[in-house]
Structure 1
Amino acid sequence: MSKRPLRHGSWPSPIGAGAVARHDGMPNWPTAVGEEVWWTEPRPAEKGRVTLRRARLDLPGLPAETVLPAPWNVRSRVHEYGGRPYALVRGAAPDAGPIVVFSEFSDQRLYRCEPGPLRDAAPAGSGGAPTVRPLTPEPEIRAGVRYVEPIVPPGRDEVWCVRETHLGPNPTDVERDIVAVPLDGSGADRPEAIRRVAAGQRFLACPRVSPSGDRLSWIGWDHPDMPWDSTRLYVCDLSADGRAGEVRTVAGGPGEAVVQAEWGADGTLYCVTDPDGWWNPHQIGFAADGGAERAPVNLARREEEFGGPLWQLGSSWLRPLRDGRIAVVHGRATTALGVLSPDSGAIADVTTPHTEWFGRLTSGGAADSWVIGVAAAATLPAEIVAVSTVTGEWRSLTRPRDGDLPDEPFADFLPRPKARTFRGEGGREVHANVYLPHHPTVTGPEGVAPPFVIFVHGGPTSRAPMVHDLEIAYFTSRGIGVAEVNYGGSTGHGRAYRERLRENWGVVDVADSVAVARSLTDEGTADPARTAIRGGSAGGWTTAAALTFTDVFACGTIQYPILDLAGWRTGETHDFESQYLESLVGPWPRERARYEERSPVNHAERITAPFVLLQGLEDEICPPVQCERFLERIAGRVPHAYLTFEGEQHGFRQEATIVAALHAELSLYAQVFGFETDAPALELRR
């Protein structure tokens, strides 16, 4: 069937902003106890809260159940980005069902809930809301004591986790430690019942206790390093009463970043680290007498990544199995789930239609016979997937979601992404994911290149995967192309590629985004007069910098950005990233001139392209004060709009906010590129 020509941007699409918002986010943090698998799930329509869901591996026909009703919000604020916010504890009786311990977003306390078992005949939810009671005390500062990455040490009636305590008014008035929280609730009224287990570094992650209960491992680092720069893996012996002994460093150090460590069933310690420039799996053995550790051994020396950046604590790219093998997530432009044999280094990848596996592995079922993770593809939304290590079969635990299959009604309108490598300045490689406009019955006018939007991911130490994304489809189904740039500094391509951004933030990321835009226009894929740029957080920084220091883009969408490097470095952000710019820009205050020269806020007079600026008013990472300072210097010169959102932190989670932001962005492009749209008109003011 021939397609009818229609002006790019005006194509009719069933993918509305509401559909994007309702399916924003992905199921996350799978955890298993026996046959039960639990995970977190976002609810944009319920003020952006996060709930807990669960299903059973041995009852595939049983629908998934929501455990916690509103207003419970399962989300940690440690480092502001949070991480794995809950743990499961086996019930006292075999048929009692697991106990869940979770971090509640509103006050950041730990709570205990016993919903009972998930049964085929009588689902636990049929008896009403489960009882929830606190395990930690109410802090003096609201949400000032936070917990993340809880674990359950063998043989102990405690949950151990990373605790972050805010001590004063400044963002850097913080201390962190690993603590033991009693499961009986005694710590809720008696803070002294919560016991410190380990401390010593500014940042701590990945606390793990060996199966025999006699050793504790964790990852630590200090300012000015970030967890992808330099970290150390520590181990200490534990006494019978859970007291920590002498601490030893077993991996990591300057120029090496350990991002995960897990104990095998036999007491072997496995970790993901990059002494050779790639995050590969390593094995750390112990002497037969329990003495000195053997040096880490690389189990799969490959120029691909088996790990990623620790933006959220609890990430898991490696999972030792009971039979001695190791489940691993690995790849570069795309990632796969494989099973690694430590003896040979061979990896057998599982066969599923998913092209992206996230660092969220766990295992469950009888004899640890299932590997469970979060996976997606260009035509499959992110879902909780269980793969049998015995038969190789796989199943989704999250589809259907209450009978709603968001991918089916839009299947014909989803773009077909392609991973491409462009040439940037000096001939360097620049990786990007390109999504051409796509519609089943409409095409653009003959000989007319479509408008394009360059998407810049946040981080900047991160990457843009090629997955089902209705936000991208919202544009491509209307005739607007999208290119996601994995600029120099992105993860997925080794340390050398990641460190291209060292002291070059605002230079390399901007140049690489420009290189992709120009390459697309030079080859006739994109219209050079109708190219936009957009991004949030660090991507908002690159967007603002590109609009300030280049003339390539006709307009831009700037979301919760960094705009003033000097302000951000001197107190206008949280502790975790308060010295991030030491590596991205240079030592402060020695390089103060560089900070000021690169900041869009100091060169607002150079911006001539219209833009929309979107900001959450509760953002502790990129606070509104930076936007306000920037707009004071823009006033009266450039058409723009500034939209702020109550109740939103860093990134947008509420349905109404996501809808408003998408409508504003599409309206901007319609006005600048000259097409009609069904989005409400956005008023641009000078």
Structure 2
Amino acid sequence: MRNGLLLLLSVLAMSNATAAPKAAPYGSWVSPITSDAIVAESLKLGQVALDGDSIYWVEGRPAEGGRNVLMLQRPDGLVAEMTPAAFNVRTRAHEYGGGSFTVAGHIAYSATFNDQALYLQPPDGPPQFFAGEAGARFANGLIDGPRSRMIAVREAHPEDGSEAVNTLVSIGLEGEHVIRTLVRGADFYSSPTLSPDGRQLAWLSWSHPNMPWDGTILQVGRFDADGYLVDIRTVAGAADESVFQPQWSPGGELVFASDRNGWWNLYGWNGSKTRLIHEAQAEFGEPQWEFGMSRYGFLPDGRIVASYLANGIARLAIIDPKTGKLKDIPTPFQEIKELRVGNGFVVFLGGSDSEARSLVRLDLKTSRFEILRRGSKLKVESAYLSKPQSIAFPTTGGKTAYAFHYPAANPAYVGPKGERPPLIVLSHGGPTSQATPTFNPAIQFWTSRGISVVDVNYGGSSGYGRDYRRRLNGNWGVVDIDDCVSAAKYLVAQGLADGDRLAIRGGSAGGYTTLGALAFRPGVFKAGASYYGVGDLEVLARDTHKFESRYLDSLVGPYPADKALYASRSPINSVDKIASALILFQGLDDKVVPPNQSQMMFDAVKAKGLPVAYVPFLGEGHGFRAAAAIKRSLEAELYFYGRVLGFKPADALEAVAIENLPPPT
């Protein structure tokens, strides 16, 4: 009955779109963009790979509990689902994963989530166990054909619970699939890449307290007769130089992105000297949150096809490595990731303000784009879509910050005369990540109901150069909060938002910014929604996974030396200052931000007597994957805002238990 009512409301909304808009309170508008439609028609597209003209990719399916499936499109266009129902293609290396499969000779080798072992799979057969070790996770593999083996990153977790050990290893393709260590000593490894003649290997490494976007080392070694690495040399990188995506050109030059000049620009190394290929105030790299990320590749003639970010917007270009000249390729996309280059074509994940992140193939001869797999099949009239408006706004210290503003939009409604819409301020995760203008049904969910949104690229975000990215160093919980507050106040001053109905929401690091904004800037926001957010920095510093275990050294300061600073920046210690309603969402299997963080915040805010709700999810980790969790959290958040911001949603919503708030009459 409930689904039928939602369908009726959606139909009415669509039919009303052709009539004169009706005045109705913001937040109460009937929208065709329902939570059911969002989760039913969405895919989370991830890693992309090429094997000749065959295209492989991973897609996460919320409708299947977030299971990751390996897909194949053959050269004749036939699409095949390679992963059987019992398999989930996902590595837990670094917890964030990525680089979960590699393919060569039409055989795929992939990690599976349940046992973290590696399986091989021919194009027309079931998966077969390939290799694995107790407590080991593998990622970022490649096939070393001349030596009949795979080379991969191994993350070994000791039984005694001590810190994981990361190495580069080889795994034999034949016989007993013997695993041998090739490189050890650094805390982390990524991006192994073979030279065209198969004689050399290049890779990245870094060690605590650095994150890969702070500083990495690019090294090259030569294989001896036994397949071990000798004559290892450092090519680029340092504690304060981040190198991204080393890759050999067809002619044997090692190309990589480095931020040594303040931007991730492309450089080349010929075995003795390094040169700058193309200089620009643009980013040809990005933070390595996952393994196997790719922003460029080579055509057979050596030209480079690359995606780059300028002012936070992605572009596609061809670079002549001999002259350094860059020629843009016009595209309708503002986000371009996972770019792989074939013979006369490129494949990438592209998104625009009207198209969710999708798998795209571009024929370089005809300039024709073909969408192979859509991230969202949601069909909505364009009049219901809010177009992101890029804004630059003043913030603390006379600086400028950036965001995308999404005005409330629904052709069937207008707000009451003299009323301004509520505003949700989005604080993205990372915090060294980036908000993009790619179509996001979850944002349109709000705007089509009469709630405007601003997605903030606060200081510390990527896409605007190294200096902007480093604004957050030592200032997490200060700069990010200031910029989110400044974005909200800027829109209020422009008459685009109701200053008395401001909300802030975010996940992970964005959840910390959300909690911090309520605790350290009381009175600005009337409500907040934290998704698996950090409430106690000290607990996070003591209890998180290896990859991020020293991240706070740069964001806050060394721990425990700066223990007092950690305490002062922890929202849990400033609950007495919070004066706003709060809802918390948490996956109980979260290994990045322990669930006790949300529980502690809930208990503390409840004890203070403020409206607060806590919605936990069994089986969910850091980031919700299953349709049921995504749907429930969206609807619960809408219900919560309706109660505390003073509007009545048109949707038939399941109630949320809100402590310290009388039930609705």
Short-chain TM bin: over 0.9
The yes-or-no answer on 1:621 pairing with 2:592 is: yes
Match of 1:456 in 2: 427
Task: For residue 152 of structure 1, give the secondary structure of its aligned residue in structure 2.
Answer: strand
Task: Report matched runs for 1:519-530 at 5 Å.
Answer: 519-530=490-501
Return the offset for 1:169. Answer: 4.4
Alpha-carbon distance, 1:321 to partner: 2.1
Q: Give the paired residue count.
A: 637
Q: 1:327 corresponds to which letter in structure 2?
A: V
Aligned residue in 2 for 1:487: 458
1:408-459 Cα shifts (integer Å, max 9, x gaps)? 3354322100111000012201100110111122221222110010000000
Amino acid at match of 1:47: G
Alpha-carbon distance in 2 for matches of 1:308, 1:66: 30
Q: Which residue of 2 is the match for residue 131 of structure 1? A: 126
How far, CA to CA, are the matches of 1:425 and 1:223 in structure 2? 31
2:266 to 266, 276, 281: 281
Aligned Cα RMSD in Å?
1.5
Partner of 1:249: 234
**Residue 153 (structure 1) aligns with:** 144
Pair 440,169 (structure 1): closer, same or farther in 2 beyond 3 Å: farther
Question: Which of these residues, 44, 66, 76, is aligned with residue 91 of structure 2?
Answer: 76
Q: How does 1:608-647 map to 2 (within 5 A)?
A: 608-636=579-607, 637-647=609-619
Q: In the alignment, does 2:100 pair up with 1:88? A: no
Indicate conservation of the 8 Å contact 2:346/2:362, yes or no: yes
Q: Give, in whole Å, the separation in 2 of the partners of 1:408 and 1:352.
A: 22
Deviation digits for residues 283-328 of structure 1 (CA, Å, limit 9, x no counterpart): 1112xxxxxx21x212111111111000001101121221110111
Tell me which amino acid in the other structure corresponds to 2:655.
Answer: A
Counterparts of residues 247-326 of structure 1 (less than 5 Å)? 247-286=232-271, 293-294=272-273, 296-326=274-304
Task: After TM superposition, give the deviation of residue 648 of structure 1 in Å.
Answer: 0.6
User: Following TM superposition, by how much is the alpha carbon of 1:65 offset from its aligned partner in structure 2, in angstroms?
Assistant: 2.1
Give the 4+ runs in structure 1 shifted more than 4 A: none
* Cα deviation, residue 390, structure 1: 2.8
Percent of pairs with identical residues:
37
Contact 2:503 2:526 survives alignment (8 Å): yes
Preserved contact between residue 136 and residue 185 of structure 1 (Cα < 8 Å): no
Aligned equivalent of 1:660: 632
- The 1:438/1:274 distance shift into structure 2, 3 A limit, reads same
Aligned position for 1:207: 192
Separation in structure 2 between the aligned mates of residue 432 and residue 521 of structure 1, nearest angstrom: 14
Structure 2 residue aligned with 1:33: 51
Letter in 1 for 2:76: L
2:656: which partner in 1? 682
Given the alignment of the two structures, is residue 361 of structure 1 paired with residue 377 of structure 2, yes or no? no
Q: Per-residue deviation at 1:533? A: 0.1
For residue 526 of structure 2, the aligned residue among 550, 554, 579 is 554
Separation of aligned partners in 2, 1:323 and 1:443: 56
Match of 2:397 in 1: 426
**Partner of 2:76 in structure 1?**
59
Q: Secondary structure at the match of 2:480?
A: helix
> Given residue 249 of structure 2, which amino acid in structure 1 is its aligned partner?
G
Partner of 1:167: 158
Matched, 1:397 2:375: no
Deviation at 1:21, TM superposition (A): 2.2
Determine if contact 2:296/2:341 at 8 Å carries over to the other structure: no
- Structure 2 counterparts to residues 433-512 of structure 1, below 5 A: 433-512=404-483
Could you tell me how far apart the structure 2 residues matched to 1:25 and 1:224 are? 35
Q: Is the 8 A contact 2:202 2:221 kept in 1?
A: yes
For 1:121, the equivalent position in structure 2 comes to none
> What residue is the counterpart of 1:95 in the other structure?
none
* Residue 76 (structure 1) shift: 0.9
Aligned partner (choices 196, 211, 230) of residue 215 of structure 2:
230
Kindly state the Cα deviation for residue 351 of structure 1 after the two structures are TM-superposed: 2.6
CA offsets 1:322-350 (integer angstroms, 9 cap, x no match) = 11101111123210111111122222222
Deviations 1:116-155 (A, max 9, x none): 3xxxxxxxxxxxxx3211111351xxxx210111111242
Question: d(CA) in 2 for partners of 1:279 and 1:568?
Answer: 30
Question: Contact between 1:32 and 1:362, CA under 8 Å: does it hold in 2?
Answer: yes
Query: Contact 1:162–1:179 (CA<8 Å) still a contact in 2?
Result: yes
Rounded Cα–Cα distance in structure 2 between residues aligned with 1:223 and 1:168: 22
**Does 2:179 match 1:179?**
no
Equivalent residue letter for 1:346: K
SS in 2 for 1:664: helix
Tell me if structure 2 keeps the 8 A contact 1:381–1:407: no
Tell me how far apart the structure 1 counterparts of residues 511 and 380 of structure 2 sit (CA, whole Å).
Answer: 32
Aligned to 2:67: 49
Opposite residue 415 of structure 2, the aligned amino acid is G
Q: Shift in Å at residue 2 of structure 1?
A: 3.4
Contact 1:357/1:376 (<8 A) preserved: yes
Asked if 2 retains the 8 angstrom alpha-carbon contact of 1:450 and 1:526, the reply is yes
Shift of residue 24 of structure 1?
A: 4.5
In the alignment, residue 303 of structure 1 is paired with which amino acid?
Answer: Q
CA contact (8 A) 1:272 1:318 kept: no
- Could you tell me which residue of structure 1 aligns to residue 8 of structure 2? none
Task: Point out the more displaced range, 313-322 or 16-25.
Answer: 16-25
1:107–1:138 contact (8 Å) kept in structure 2: no
The reply to whether residue 329 of structure 1 matches residue 307 of structure 2 is yes
Rounded Cα–Cα distance in structure 1 between residues aligned with 2:133 and 2:462: 38
The residue that corresponds to 2:563 in the other structure is 592
State the one-letter code of the partner of 1:106: N
- The SS at the match of 1:682 is coil
Q: Which amino acid aligns with 1:497?
A: Y
C-alpha distance in structure 1 between counterparts of 2:132 and 2:259, whole Å: 39
Query: 1:586, 1:446 → 2: CA distance?
Result: 49
CA distance in 2, matches of 1:240, 1:209: 16
Moved more, 10-19 or 211-220: 10-19
SS in 1 for 2:278: coil
- Take 2:182 and 2:558, find their aligned partners in 1: how far apart are those partners? 34
Q: Secondary structure at the match of 2:655?
A: coil
Task: Indicate the SS of the match to 1:676.
Answer: coil
Preserved contact between residue 49 and residue 71 of structure 1 (Cα < 8 Å): no
Unmatched runs of 5 consecutive residues or more in structure 2 = 1-18, 661-665
How far apart are residue 3 of structure 1 and its match? 1.7
Distance between the aligned counterparts of 2:160 and 2:505, measured in 1? 33
Out of 99, 111, 118, the position equivalent to 2:107 is 99
Deviations 1:516-558 (A, max 9, x none): 0111111110000111000000000000000111120000100
Q: Give the whole-Å Cα distance in 2 for the aligned partners of 1:516 and 1:151.
A: 44
> Displacement, 1:32?
1.2
Aligned counterpart, 2:11: none
**Amino acid corresponding to residue 323 of structure 1 in structure 2:** D
Q: C-alpha distance in 1, partners of 2:159/2:471?
A: 36
2:144 partner letter = P
* Counterpart in the other structure of 2:541: 569
CA shift at 1:5, angstroms? Answer: 1.6
Match of 1:195 in 2: 180
Residues 567-597 of structure 1, C-alpha deviations (whole Å, 9 max, x = no match): 1112x11011111111100122221111001
Distance, in Å, in 2 between the alignment partners of 1:252 and 1:355 is: 29
Instruction: Tell me which amino acid in the other structure corresponds to 1:343.
Output: K
The aligned amino acid for 2:140 is: E
SS in 2 for 1:155: helix
Task: Confirm or deny: 8 A CA contact 1:539 1:561 kept in the other structure.
Answer: yes
